[in-house]
Each structure stands twice: as C-alpha cells, then as structure tokens.
Amino acid sequence: MDINQQHSNTTEKVGMGLVCSVETFKKGNIQLVKRLSGFNGLSIYKNGEVRKIELKTMERSDNWIAINGHMAIDKLFFERDYWMYFVLIPENIVVMTRALPFIYNQMRLSNETNFLKELEAWIKSTKNLSKISSLKFIPRINIKFNYSLRKLSEYIVSETYKHEWDNSVIEIWQNQSEWKCLYKIEEF
C-alpha cells in the first residue's frame, strides 16, 4: 500500500472538516447528526435557512457516488430540502448542490419518467420484505455521473459556462489558506 494513500475514513474526516470550516466561514451553524439520520449534518443560518447535508468526499474517483440504506435513499430522492456537498481532495474544493436536481442533471432524467414512483415502490417493498422475514436488506444505489465533479466544477467557474447547472449547483468554494467563493447563485 502506498504510504501517501489515506484510508477512506481519514479522507471523509478531511472532507467533513472542510465542510464545517466553509459553513462556519459563511456564518452558518453546522451540526453533525447521527449516521442513521440519512444525512451527515445540518447547516443553519440566522435568516432561518436550513440545509440538510449529505457529504461525499472525492479524492480519486469523482464520476460516481453510492447511496446506502433505506433512509439515505429516501432522503435523497424524496426530501426537497436536501443538499449534497462534494469535497474534492487535494484541491480543497467544496461543491454545494441541491441533491435531487443535481442527480436529475447528472442522470439526464426528465420529470416525466416514472423513475421516482418505481424507486419509491422498490424502497417500500424492500422495507416490507425486511419486516416479514428474518432477512435484513440494506439497499445500495450507485449513481454514475455523466460529468465528473472536477470537470464540471472547472466548467462552471470558466468563462464559457452557459448556466445549465444553475438549478442544481449553487455554490463552489475553495480553500487555499483561506476560503474563496468561486461560484454562487445569488437566489440562494
């Protein structure tokens, strides 16, 4: 094993540290929550804004994510005020997205598909099967991105950006000894 290669738990801790740091810098009050909640933390601002945050730290691979468990899948696809923060290591970049619109853009899903209804039925059936049997099902969804996070963030902060991600990518921050906002949608 390469001595410079970090364990994934260490990488996640670095990502959480960066998210806590940027939220505090932005005057938010970050609260970490229990793992069983389906997300990693809450960021609360004095103006009443609350973000439920799921954190994904990406050191090498930045073109897919995994969502594990009934609660996390349910929150991601069925809770409208759910955010995904992607931390790109070693660049120290935090990409803040509205989760469901971001996933829709990455997977190129239209609102007209029955995807959400079918996913909801699948979640309910696995929960019911777990209740009536002695088996415990822990569903996992792997989401392959059409655009890697590094390439997408580079594109969004470029002069050629055409604003097609404005409904889902809300802010991009980078820390190089201090926080710098690279991109922000003003409505949020």
Res 2 pLDDT > 60: no
Please report the pLDDT score of residue 178 as a whole number.
95
Instruction: Kindly write down the DSSP assignment for every residue of 101-137, as one continuous string.
Output: HHHHHHHT--TTSSHHHHHHHHHHHHHHHHHHSS---
Give the model confidence (pLDDT) of 110-128 as tens digits. Answer: 555 677 788 888 888 888 8
Q: According to the per-residue pLDDT averaged within each range, which of 38-42, 49-53, 101-105, 154-158 is highest?
A: 154-158
Place of tokens 């009934």: 70
Token pair for residue 5?
């290669």
Percent of the chain residues past pLDDT 70, beyond the cut: 84
State the average pLDDT over residues 156-171: 93
pLDDT surpassing 50 at residue 1: no
pLDDT at 182 over 60: yes
Q: Is residue 155 scored above 80 in pLDDT?
A: yes
Query: What are the tens digits of pLDDT across the range 65-115?
Result: 888 877 788 877 877 778 899 999 999 999 999 988 898 888 876 555 677
Q: Is the pLDDT of residue 4 over 70?
A: no
Q: Which of 49-53, 88-92, 140-144 has the lowest mean pLDDT?
A: 49-53
pLDDT at 143 over 60: yes
178's tokens: 């201090």
> Mean pLDDT throughout 4-23?
77
Average pLDDT along the chain? 83
DSSP state of 63: S
Q: Which residue has the higher pLDDT, 179 or 100?
A: 179
- DSSP structure string for 137-173: ---EEEEE-SS-HHHHHHHHTSTT--STTTTTEEEEE
Q: What is the dihedral of CA 9, 72, 39, 175, to 10 degrees?
A: 60
